[in-house]
Chains A and B, each alone.
Chain A
Amino acid sequence: MTEASIYSPLLIITLAAAATYASRALGTLLSGKITVDSAMIDWITCVTYALLAGLVARMIWMPIGALTATPDWMRFTAAATGLIVFGLTRKSVGFGVLAGSAVMIALSAQL
């Protein structure tokens, strides 16, 4: 694991906020003027999905902070429970998250 970032958090947050508002502003500018190309939107969606899936996989498998103290199997079990409950409850994200969190609490209380 590398050291925490060398940049000032304030700078990071400000630039991240600007990068985010840029999309909102551009969306406002374009709204109603031109039709946003759907192939372009599909591409953005795919890039976002891949990026976030990579991030989520990393956060579960190679976490930072307090979760580094938990063994891999514990995080995998909690995530798998969330998935199973999500499947059993006809795709209820709420129940899935609750079940996964409950398993994380129960298992990590044994540490």
Chain B
Amino acid sequence: MEPSQSPDSHPFQTPRAAFWGGMREAIGVPMLVMGGSFVGFGSMLRDADWSVWQSLYSTLSTWALPGQIAMVEMAHTGAPLTAIVLAVGFINARLLPLVASLLPHMRRPQTSAWKYYAASMLIAATSWVGTMKRLADLRQDQRLSYLCGYGLLLYASSPFATVIGFYLAGQVPQPITLALVFLNPLYFMLLFLFDLHKPAKVLSLVFGAVLGPALYLVAPNWSLIITGLVGGTVAWWLGRTKLFKRGEPS
């Protein structure tokens, strides 16, 4: 938060350099992972009979993959519009704490408010992690630039990945198409298991994985919303009780 190091310990001299630096540092693993999952998304849309323009529009307007995937899945299984929008809203509500926790580090009195609202579009899990771990090295006036460079590179590469996935799905042999469509369920399953320190998270996953398919058989249209609200709330509540509080890092 505070620029405590000597000036020459900063990796960038100017905000402009921080912008390009952010772009450079997003190339590599962050871009590959993000690109891979958007390739999977593109394939999934082709498979669900959406158009390439619709897939592009979704990627550029939403740019938060888990919600986009839920949207396609639910639309395909005939869920009502209200249920779809609610589910997407809930899934992407995780962006609220991400944005609210990152932006205070880059606020400056002379920066106009709209810039923060624009930059918030570039905040997703990947760019949040990438920027957060660099904050301490950056001067206050470079942080927003760094975030914009980092986020913009990822944002700008997603439509390409989406289109590539969309067209690959039809062109490559069927087994590869199946693997592409299967990419995101696989990716998100493992991503969840990556960070399981809090008991409430583990319980949420267990309840969700059981309730999701089970409720689908009973009430297909609203099953995901009910799964999230019931499974998540019970897990959250149990996580706060004494039983699970013990030994939890706060």
Contacts and interface: CB of A to CB of B under 8 A. Distances in A.
Interface in B189-206: 189-194, 198, 200-201, 203-206
A48 B94 contact: yes
A88 B159 CA distance: 33
B162 interface: no
A14 B60 CA distance: 11
Interface of B is mostly: helix
Contact-residue size bin, chain B (C-beta under 8 Å from the other chain): 35 or more
Given A10-B57, A28-B120, A58 B216 contact: yes
* Main DSSP-derived SS at the A contact region: helix
Interface residues of A, number: 80
B188 to A, nearest CB: 5
Contacts, number: 324
B175 A93 contact: no
A27 B99 CA distance: 5
- Which of A10, A43, A54, A64 counts the most chain B CB atoms within 10 A? A54
B116 A19 contact: no
Interface of B: 33, 36, 44, 47-51, 54, 57-58, 61-64, 66-71, 73-79, 81, 84-104, 107, 116-117, 120-121, 123, 173-179, 181-194, 198, 200-201, 203-213, 215-216, 220, 223-225, 227-233, 235-236, 239-240
